[in-house]
Chains A and B, each alone.
Chain A
Amino acid sequence: MSVLEHSDQVTMDTRMVFLRVMAEASAHNIWLKPEQTITDLMRKPFGFAGEPISVYRVVVGSEETRAIAAHYLTLNRSSYQTVWALRIELQDLHTIGMSVRETPGDTGVADIDTKHHDLIGDQATFELLTRHLYDRIRHGEDRLRVVGTTQLVHQIQDFLNAASGIVSEEARARCLRLAHLGGL
């Protein structure tokens, strides 16, 4: 094995995470600021109703970007905007006693819809999860993933080039609208 191959293997991130994809471009900043209240932190990603929370179980890296782009199609937009995601690890869920269940996704991208799950917990459990994630970020862990317009454009083109059966007709129509009107 060459030094380069060895180096690639060492640096490759194969972490599996649950991604909670968020639509508001700059809202991740709140997670980087000190002394935020748990109420403010959990309002957008989890809410206060203790309802199932939609996530995708993916490998950190390009699969993560693909899931975020597929989720972007559900936003039904005609232009590209930066989006971001919270990375939740299985160990986080074990630590706080939160359940997860496999459920069908609705992005229209077949390989991503099979990775859809729901986080299941009451309000108190989601508070614990929020506190835990905020703490992990404070300790320097890489729990926020931002995907900009350049990455989205690339992934949308990838969906358009996909073999039939991978991307539904509706998702394809949304990809085409983005490709034609997206402004990039």
Chain B
Amino acid sequence: MSSQQITAYVTAMFEIAVANDVLATVEDEMFRLARAYETNEALRGSLGDTSLPIERRQKIVEQLLGGKAHNVTVQLASMLVGTGHVSLLPQVADALVKRASSEKQLEVAEVRTAVALSDAQKTRLVDALAKATGKRVNLKVVVDPSVIGGVVATVGDDVIDDSVRTRLDQVKARL
């Protein structure tokens, strides 16, 4: 049932974003919102709290994204909260990114770093990953402090891990 729901949501969001000619913006903002939802326990608790009225939870989404995200993104996220399926947000966002990338003949490249990347770094990283994998990539950067330093890039089934966390894990294993 969840798979069908996810597909239905993704199809709807994709069509709405395409119709408004904001697919790239919406899928990127949905991706970042999903990562924030995954890592922020307070946000998960608030949006999933069924004791709060739906209007209140939708207001939280609008306050969170207001002025920072496209209006279509805010409405789509608010729709998920309103239908009581906000817990599907990470899967829906990932599927939307994959669908959007597929439309553009791109492979999703999820990159995790401890600090944010500059635009120049993103551009060079896209080129580097395309060269390394032989695929055009749709770069999605996730700032993840647990990486500590360096980069972990996932392109399809390929994982390029050059993070400080992994090196420390290797040192720990040797210890």
> Are these two chains actual partners, yes or no?
no
Interface residues of A (CB under 8 A from B): none
Chain B residues close to A by CB (< 8 Å): none
